[in-house]
């Protein structure tokens, strides 16, 4: 995973102290760590404590992301499910069901 991108762009543009998303995914499948698994996100008002924010970088108003990005996103969700398998995370347990 790489984190150089997350240190600048979104935080500078909107004045946040940190990036809002848990992870960001490039179309080539590279994964950038935003806040990571252990820090509450700031991506979904009212759901940040129970949700994971994954952003696929790009403009998808007229097309879908490339398969590499979708596969990387699935991989991240699988990692999240494994990470919290023994915890009380309601959201990821619902995804797994």
Length of the chain counted residue by residue: 97
How do the domains of the chain map onto residue ranges?
A: 5-96
pTM over 0.95: no
Cα atoms in the Cβ-side hemisphere of radius 13 Å centred on 26: 12
> Is 5-96 in CATH node 3.40.80.10?
yes
d(CA 1, CA 31): 5
b/e string for 55-76 if b means 16 or more Cβ within 10 A? bbbeeeeeeebeeebeebbeeb
> Phi first, then psi: what are they for 45, rounded to 5°?
-55, 125
Instruction: Give average pLDDT by consecutive 10-residue segment, the chain, 97 residues.
Output: 46 61 92 83 75 88 95 90 63 48
């Amino acid at each position: 995973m790489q984190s150089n991108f997350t240190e600048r762009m979104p935080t500078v543009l909107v004045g946040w102290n940190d990036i809002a998303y848990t992870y960001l995914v490039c179309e080539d499948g590279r994964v950038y760590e935003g806040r990571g698994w252990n820090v509450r996100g700031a991506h979904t008002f009212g759901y940040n404590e129970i949700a994971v924010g994954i952003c696929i970088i790009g403009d998808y108003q007229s097309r879908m992301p490339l398969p590499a990005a979708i596969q990387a996103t699935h991989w991240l969700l699988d990692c999240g499910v494994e990470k919290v398998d023994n915890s009380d995370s309601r959201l990821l347990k619902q995804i797994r069901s």
